[in-house]
Amino acid sequence: MARLAVVSDTHIPERADAIPDSFREHLRSADHVIHAGDFTTAAVHEDLTDLADGNLTAVVGNMDPQNLDLPSVGTLEVEDRTFVVTHGTGSLHEYEERVARIVREEGGEDAIGVAGHTHEVVDTTVDGIRLLNPGSCTGAAPATARTMLTVDIAGADLDVTVHEQ
């Protein structure tokens, strides 16, 4: 079994001061960390890389500086599952359909999509593709709470838990 910690939309320091301590513990104890974009500073990316002990898959968000030099789409193989990570940049109109299309193109029919951008927690299936959005781990507006996900993976089985403050 493996555990992922999934965060997005930190927006530090523009909209929030820090990642909550309890969330930092989830990030430290995970086997791998995913960040779906909008760090907004290189310092936050470095902090998360340290918390993840280098086991970080991260993508660029629409608010990230170019010097982060992150891909727009990343993939991660864990146990028997493929995760496709993208920020989801663009209009909120047809957001889920757009992300599902990217996931299918990059990872195939059985891939799991991880995206951010909306600051809203999502765990849904769109056109056969499971989509996860951890919301904003700092509660950056327009979020109404600080949220993140942990995902326990055992073979093909996933157990997704929402953590909220």
Q: Which two tokens stand for residue 109?
A: 């029919």
Written out in words, the top-level CATH class of the domain with range 2-164 is: alpha beta
pLDDT digits (tens, 9 = 90+) for 21-36: 999 999 999 999 999 9
Rounded distance between C-alpha atoms, residue 152 and residue 154, angstroms: 7
131 or 17, higher pLDDT: 131
What span, in angstroms and rounded, lies between the C-alpha atoms of 22 and 121?
A: 18
Q: What is the pLDDT of residue 162?
A: 98
Q: How many CB atoms lie within 10 A of CB 138?
A: 26
**Mean model confidence pLDDT for the chain:** 96
Every domain of the chain and the residues it spans: 2-164
What band does 67 get if pLDDT is binned at 50, 70 and 90? confident
Note the helical H segments in the chain: 21-29, 42-51, 95-107
Sheet order of strands, 32-35 included: 56-58, 32-35, 2-7, 147-154, 157-164
Q: Which two tokens stand for residue 16?
A: 């929030």
Would the pTM of this model clear 0.95, i.e. be above it?
yes
End-to-end CA distance of the chain: 26
